[in-house]
A and B are shown apart, each in its own frame.
Chain A
Amino acid sequence: MGLRGKESTLVAENAVEDDDDVMDDLSGQESESGSESEEEDVKLAEPSKNPIYNRDGLIEKLQDISWPENVEWMHKLSLDIDQEKEVDVNDDLARELAFYTQALEGTRLAFEKFQSMGLPFLRPPDYYAEMVKTDVHMQKVKGRLLAQKRQIEEAEERRKAREAKRIAKEVQAEKLKERAKQKKQEIEEVKKWRKQRQQSGFPAGGKDSELDLGFEDGKAFERSSKKRPGVSPGDRSGGKAKQGGGKGKNMKKRESRNSKFGFGGRKGLKKQNTAETTNDIRGFNKGGVAGNKKRKK
């Protein structure tokens, strides 16, 4: 491909020159031959001799090999599509697009011709015959396309997960701030109430109907109704085992592992200070301690 790139840069430089009457350009080309060795992209347009262009000979040969004039179009199946604009060779996308449009135009014209002649054009879907690429090859192509699609989807999912995590974090931060604010507000209100009470000299009875106490609706001592995990002392999973209540694959994983390797056992209840263990003095003073006599007891 590198070769082609180099060639195309060489040729692109000459694109400005008209190659129809090359004889006339000879003088211009000869002057450049001297600077050939110095320049990188050399204009090698036959500096020393005329490029041969035997127009009559070409036309004669053309007449020789052409098919007779009245040959039907059906034999040739050739279509001429005019391009409106010049395409830059090095711009891959534009070039391929130009080819594609040319083919599309050609097919449309051909289709119209075929319709006017009443001949079949397209392959019906139930016509099975040998194709130019084998089925095995087409399966590989399909596999590659599917793999590409899967890659794209995974990338999308990962991006979405990242976004969701970020948003969740923000929401959490907001909630914490809310809570702190709420707490602060409540404390402020208690202080205010106390101050008010002080100022108005502790009236007896709780008839403070003028005061609108923000904290008296009894909601202050209510916690959120979400259950906090109640961890039992022997629980190895830290309370998370019961939480989802069989949430998807974690539970399945846990269950499968449990069945395979056995349940781990409760956490650390081997040694505990309970009533029985305190009163259990079986392990002490068994048959006179043979210790150091000199050591003060």
Chain B
Amino acid sequence: MGKKRKHSETQTVELTKKDEGAPERPKRTLLGWKDKEEVQKLTGSNPDSSHVFRNKEKVMVTCSRRINYRYRHLMLNVVSLLPHCKKDNKVESRSSKGATLNELIELRGCSSCLFFECRKHQDLYLWMAKCPSGPSVKFLVNAVHTMEELKLTGNHLKGSRPLLTFSGNFEKDAHWKLLKEMIIQIFGTPKEHRKSKPYHDHVFVFSIVDDHIWFRNYQISVPHNESDKMVRGGLDKMTLVEVGPRFCLNPIKIFAGSFGGPTLYENPYYVSPNQIRALEKRQKAGKYAKKVKAKTRRKMHELSNPLEPDEFADMWRE
């Protein structure tokens, strides 16, 4: 391999060569050959970046230990949907969850993280965090259907860039806007990613219904005959087939830091699943007590209002 020449070196060489009257060699950049004037024009237009915007998002996907099979499959499905993710080993996290995870993310060189935490083998919590200093969100995941269910019949290219659709009420409030931005960055495949495939054949749906974020993934299927041309009249015949997975996110808290930090938002309607289970048990426990109470009440009532003596009581007596 030849010696790597720094940019500055080539610059000085060219400047000296200018005097000789030879035509300038076009400057060589990562994106191809560029003439000097063009480079100057570009740098003039966006002074903050000397190159075009490149999405270098990398997501780290991990889970906690003792995760359920269903949720593990969900995590694997998510890994297959995002070609810009890195799957990591299970995290044994009890006490210092935030620190461990932050370290792991730095180690892998990722910029965001999806952490699937399963509690009591029953409840799945999803943490979505932007790594170095970004906000993080904790969701409770409900209504999980994985891609392996035979009812979800669609299929699409692995790694093709998805179209992200958001319902209108993402703009209604600040915390929804923040969530939308995080979702775009995490779930959207970067444009010229190595593992991404060219065409767009699936759509993600994120919509807010009843203060929950519902996720759906559909395959775009249009019957078109020509091999490469786009559809001519087929826009009306476009159908969507569901690919999966499906889940529903209930935001619990938004933190300012990554996996910690001051709380920015707390969902007032969130009830933890433990509380729900406790309530149900209490209801059931109350049944017997209620019955006993009802019995004693009836007895008191009977004692206090004695019946009139029945005229016909002795009719059939022997």
Taking the complex as formed, is A241 at the interface, i.e. its CB lies under 8 A from any CB of chain B?
A: no
Whether A145 contacts B207 in the complex (CB less than 8 A), given A7-B142, A54-B264, A58-B174, comes out as: no
Looking at the assembled complex, report how far the CB atom of B275 sits from the nearest CB atom of chain A, in whole angstroms: 7
**0/1 string, B268-279, CB within 8 A of A gives 1:** 110101011001
Taking the complex as formed, is B218 at the interface, i.e. its CB lies under 8 A from any CB of chain A?
A: yes
Taking the complex as formed, is B104 at the interface, i.e. its CB lies under 8 A from any CB of chain A?
A: no
**0/1 string, B236-257, CB within 8 A of A gives 1:** 0010100100001010001010
Contact A78 B240 (CB under 8 A): no
Number of A-B contacts (CB under 8 A): 241
Which of A42-50, A205-213, A222-230, A269-277 contacts the other chain? A42-50
Number of interface residues of A (CB under 8 A): 83
Closest to A58 in B: B174
Q: How far is the CA of A72 from the CA of B182 in the complex (A)?
A: 17
Contact B230 A115 (CB under 8 A): yes
Q: How far is the CA of A105 from the CA of B190 in the complex (A)?
A: 23
Taking the complex as formed, is A102 at the interface, i.e. its CB lies under 8 A from any CB of chain B?
A: yes
Query: Which residues of the partner chain A approach B248 to less than 8 Å between Cβ atoms?
Result: 4
Query: Which residues of the partner chain A approach B235 to less than 8 Å between Cβ atoms?
Result: 108, 111
Contact A44 B271 (CB under 8 A): yes
Contact B80 A123 (CB under 8 A): no
Contact B230 A121 (CB under 8 A): yes
Taking the complex as formed, is B310 at the interface, i.e. its CB lies under 8 A from any CB of chain A?
A: no
Taking the complex as formed, is A283 at the interface, i.e. its CB lies under 8 A from any CB of chain B?
A: no
Taking the complex as formed, is A204 at the interface, i.e. its CB lies under 8 A from any CB of chain B?
A: no
**0/1 string, A1-41, CB within 8 A of B gives 1:** 10110111011101100011010000000000000000010
Query: Which residues of the partner chain A approach B300 to less than 8 Å between Cβ atoms?
Result: none
Contact A61 B178 (CB under 8 A): yes
Q: How far is the CA of A100 from the CA of B241 in the complex (A)?
A: 9
Contact B135 A107 (CB under 8 A): no
Contact A4 B266 (CB under 8 A): no
Q: How far is the CA of A169 from the CA of B160 in the complex (A)?
A: 62
Contact A65 B134 (CB under 8 A): yes
Taking the complex as formed, is A259 at the interface, i.e. its CB lies under 8 A from any CB of chain B?
A: no
Looking at the assembled complex, report how far the CB atom of B196 sits from the nearest CB atom of chain A, in whole angstroms: 11
Contact B46 A70 (CB under 8 A): yes
Query: Which residues of the partner chain B approach A100 to less than 8 Å between Cβ atoms?
Result: 218, 240
Greatest chain A CB density within 10 A among B135, B178, B250 is at: B178
Contact B276 A6 (CB under 8 A): yes
Taking the complex as formed, is B24 at the interface, i.e. its CB lies under 8 A from any CB of chain A?
A: no
Taking the complex as formed, is A122 at the interface, i.e. its CB lies under 8 A from any CB of chain B?
A: yes
List residues 135-162 of chain B with CB under 8 A from any CB of chain A: 135, 142-143, 147-148, 150, 153, 155-162
Q: How far is the CA of A130 from the CA of B197 in the complex (A)?
A: 10
Looking at the assembled complex, report how far the CB atom of A91 sits from the nearest CB atom of chain B, in whole angstroms: 11
Contact B265 A54 (CB under 8 A): yes
Query: Which residues of the partner chain B approach A132 to less than 8 Å between Cβ atoms?
Result: 80-81, 147, 155-158, 243
Contact A64 B80 (CB under 8 A): no
Whether A62 contacts B177 in the complex (CB less than 8 A), given A4-B248, A77-B164, comes out as: yes
Looking at the assembled complex, report how far the CB atom of B56 sits from the nearest CB atom of chain A, in whole angstroms: 11
Q: How far is the CA of A72 from the CA of B188 in the complex (A)?
A: 14
Q: How far is the CA of A10 from the CA of B158 in the complex (A)?
A: 39
Closest to B147 in A: A133
Residues of A in contact with B (beta carbons under 8 Å apart): 1, 3-4, 6-8, 10-12, 14-15, 19-20, 22, 40, 42, 44-46, 51-55, 57-59, 61-62, 64-68, 70-72, 74-83, 87, 89, 95, 98-100, 102-108, 110-111, 114-115, 120-127, 129-133, 137-138, 140-141, 144-145
